Amino acid sequence: MATKKVALILAGAFAGITNCAIANDNPTTALNCGAPADFQWLADALGKSSGQPAHIQAVTSANALSLCEVRLESGNLVYSRPGDKTIMVGRLYGVSGDSIVDLTQTSLEATNQSLLKHIKKDDYVAYSPSQPAKAFIYVMTDVDCAYCRKLHKEIPDLNKAGIEVRYLPYVRSGRQGSAWNTMSNVWCAAGDRKLLLDEAMGGKKLERQECGETVLDRYQDFGRQTQLQGTPHILFSDGRSQSGSSADLVSKALSSASSYTATNSAQ
């Protein structure tokens, strides 16, 4: 809840600020932006405004306008300059030739890709096609979410299209309520987690599993770091994300797989 309050503070305090576009064929030389501790003044200000602790996760050069990109633990990005206690909230764009690039989105997607690489196989419940998968998506789900249950019913169609669905847990209400216990029962189970998840999505109450809940705790933070705005929250292999399903989910998954393959082949 703390990170959510910080995000709301940012949204409310800077609601009047418009996005900015930067015309720049040659990106500014990378700055030495220092360390997160150098921006503690920002964490202190956000903490005071929200009433909850705020934390700076990382600081890097934005490679434009002599700005530093300041990443909050909530997943939000703001921009500032070394030694200058002012911040800019909004989208940062680069213009190269006749192309406009959303630098903010590019950074968010790069972070998402990095986070995806650290997901352990035991952390997700996979629904795989009968044939080799053409693409995969991670879906952060909540068994008490009606739209999550709707998407769950569409898994056979996604599998037929060659899409592997990898479920990760995200409980919207946190530890309060029955959803946390239900999803803990699924993710802590030693048996067939797919069967248990199917039953939970169908509304069946599961037998209590006594085990650690570190996976659920970890993915509460993970969801916020990947710009989760609601469930189901879908993460594509190239780092793109969306909260909520859509009719073009298959085409997005396939295009993200192609983009991811092309990018990594070029490296």
DSSP secondary structure letters along 8-60: HHHHHHTTTPPPEEEE-SSPPPPP----GGGGHHHHHHHHHHHSS---EEEEE
Measured distance CA(94)–CA(236) in Å, rounded: 24
What pLDDT shows up at residue 172?
Answer: 93
Measured distance CA(21)–CA(14) in Å, rounded: 17
Please state whether beta strands 20-23 and 92-96 pair in parallel, antiparallel, or not at all (unpaired). parallel
What pLDDT shows up at residue 212?
Answer: 61
Measured distance CA(95)–CA(101) in Å, rounded: 6
What's the whole-model pTM score? 0.83
Question: What is the residue extent of each domain of the chain?
Answer: 2-104, 119-266
What pLDDT shows up at residue 134?
Answer: 96
- Residue written as token pair 């790069």: 110
- 198: tokens are 């199917």
Reduced to 3 states (helix: H, G, I; strand: E, B; else coil), residue 141 is: strand
Q: With contact defined as beta carbons under 8 Å apart, do 97 and 105 qualify?
A: no
Reduced to 3 states (helix: H, G, I; strand: E, B; else coil), residue 191 is: coil
What pLDDT shows up at residue 18?
Answer: 42
pLDDT, tens digit only, all 267 positions of the chain = 444 555 544 544 444 434 554 435 445 457 899 999 999 999 999 999 988 888 999 999 998 888 999 999 888 899 999 888 999 999 999 988 889 999 999 999 999 999 999 999 999 999 999 999 999 999 999 999 999 999 999 999 999 999 999 999 999 998 887 899 899 999 988 889 999 999 999 998 887 776 767 889 999 999 989 989 999 999 999 999 999 999 999 999 999 988 655 455 443
At the top level of CATH, the class of 119-266 is alpha beta
